[in-house]
A = this chain, B = another copy of it.
Amino acid sequence: MKGRDVILGILQNKPRTGYEINEILQNQISYFYDGTYGMIYPTLKKLEREGKVKKETIIQDDKPNKNIFSITDEGKEELNEYLNSEDISEVFKSDFLMKLFFGDNLSKKQVVKLINKEIETKENQIQSLESSLKKWQLQGISDLQKITVGYGLAQYKAVVNYLKVQLKALED
């Protein structure tokens, strides 16, 4: 999955600014994709050149001007092509696992610290996902989207439980 697919997906619902797209990336779908401004604006530009999205500029006196992007028919076509494609590959890269795996010369203390940090990180992610979920439920979220959030939570929680058990085992 590429940045362009995600952006087209977001614009499918309604037109957005680059800023708003970033908000959604950071707050709503960060558990299965992450992207930054450095990707968003160049990609929007490219999509516009290709006729997949169109831009409307709103002059604002109080705030900086807005560029609102909406998806075109060609854009919808590309999105549907992606949505109907067969492959569901995934990428998972974990510095935590890497450090444990190759950390032969880490002291027990360092290992415990590392695991605790991972637990803390995951617990934060769980908290923010859960509080977001509550917010979205008020505003309406589709059943499918609920399933994806649940997936994220299930994954995070399983890891936290597992690591807590391992920590205890290490301390004995």
Complex-state Cα separation, A80 to B110, whole angstroms: 13
Task: List the B side residues contacting A147 at CB < 8 Å.
Answer: 100, 166
Chain A binding site: helix, strand, loop or mixed by DSSP?
A: helix
Residue A117 at the B interface, CB < 8 A? yes
Q: Would B88 and A91 count as touching, CB distance under 8 A?
A: no
Q: Would B1 and A93 count as touching, CB distance under 8 A?
A: yes
Interface residue count for A (Cβ, 8 Å)?
56
Select one of B83, B142, B158 contacting A99, CB under 8 A: B83
Task: List the B side residues contacting A80 at CB < 8 Å.
Answer: 105
The distance from the CB of A76 to the nearest CB of chain B, in whole angstroms, is 10
Residue A106 at the B interface, CB < 8 A? yes
